[in-house]
Chain A
């Protein structure tokens, strides 16, 4: 079945801008705030957010890192195909900082739990928030909610949400689509 579009290119741009202004409202010039993108796919969103924030507040110094959750996941040895580790790069200490975790899709909440564990290796933050582009609501398996949501959608387990990035796909377009496997039709 053809994937259903959820967010097209223009909406995508507007959502990113709105999320950034929401962040600026709460974090001023980011002097005490750090951004952590979650590997593997959250880092594209985190980079986009960071670049857009730079346009909005050019004078800001934004601390940016990427976090891999592989060694902190609760599904080690429980998956058919194991997850390979990705790079973690947090070149600063987050002690007493405000942390914004960024992932593209919030689904069961298990990745975010693992990310919070991974994050604590770099200090005790004063405050942690979560930003996500797509919130697959009603699918949570843990009591985790996002502080900033691009778009909340209703989906079922057999469906898949993918975020496509202009710099990574052939169509050169940013968009989000919902895939439904054939046997659910």
Chain B
């Protein structure tokens, strides 16, 4: 097995090979062990400085990245768009180059514009990790989701994964589809037709508009958050009549799980709208691995940062 990633940046899952993903998982196993020790830290990245640049709100991802960086002993600087020079009209390249001039080796960035990372990777000289770009990709979330599934089910080859909810606005859904397919899993998406992109079947995924049928098919159900902030953004037309109607047709409740003759795994990338896409009793049930996902998030991000840092040239 090759010990190096095939890429210089993590811009999206689309660029990774299945071997890259397995290499990340292998290292995540070891980092998960590290973060469960009395001393949760290793000195590997003491020469590396990482800037976390969040041009869009985030609590969990930012915290998870920051913990991952600190547990690898990297120096960390944080930047958020609110209250910065971005509001004074500075361009993205200028902002990043200014930060790099302070001798930063790696940038973890979240940006509202799809492709911002791709663009930046072509114009600045640093290693870039995508922590979410608009509705495009959120690669570390997909990696930690697949890693958490693998922990429960073993290798994902042939496993059936259902993604429910707002597929159209979800970078988590797109990254998950790429990641799961690269690992050999079958993917189905489910939601109201207004929230399913028209040509998504082209990606080789199945489409369903009936939650009960879809649940009967799957081994794992990943319930996405209804992104209230992105609803009505398309010509100000709402995508479904009301939250109540959405939750009646596509919200996962205990009654759904009781109807099944098998035990499925329930996931959610957070933050949860309790009572909308998932009811509280399901979110807190033994089916749910939501908190495992959060723990694994740190280990998987440590693996990604470690493997990319190994590729940074020394001066």
Interface residues of A (CB under 8 A from B): 68, 70-73, 76-78, 81-89, 93, 117, 120-123
Contact = CB atoms under 8 A, between A and B. Distances in A.
A84 B3 contact: yes
B310 A122 contact: no
Nearest to B46: A76
Given A77-B310, A77-B312, A78-B314, A72 B43 contact: yes
A85 B30 CA distance: 7
A71 B314 contact: no
27 contacts: A70-B30, A71-B30, A71-B44, A72-B42, A72-B44, A73-B44, A76-B44, A76-B310, A77-B47, A77-B314, A81-B3, A82-B3, A82-B4, A82-B310, A84-B1, A85-B26, A85-B27, A85-B30, A86-B30, A87-B33, A88-B30, A88-B34, A93-B38, A120-B39, A121-B37, A121-B39, A122-B38
B3 A121 contact: no
B207 to A, nearest CB: 39
B221 interface: no
A77 B33 contact: no
Nearest to A85: B30
| A-B complex: 6 closest residue pairs judged by Cβ atoms | A71-B42, A84-B3, A121-B39, A85-B30, A71-B44, A82-B310
Given A76-B44, A76-B310, A82-B310, A88 B33 contact: yes
A50 B108 CA distance: 46
B29 A87 contact: yes
Greatest chain B CB density within 10 A among A73, A85, A93, A117 is at A85
Given A76-B44, A117-B43, A68 B4 contact: no
Contacts of B312: 77
Nearest to B314: A77
Chain B interface size range: 20 to 34
Contacts of A85: 26-27, 30
Contacts of A120: 39
B3 to A, nearest CB: 4
B30 to A, nearest CB: 4
B16 interface: no
B220 interface: no
Given A76-B44, A84-B23, A120-B39, 6 more contacts: A77-B47, A77-B313, A81-B3, A82-B310, A84-B1, A123-B38
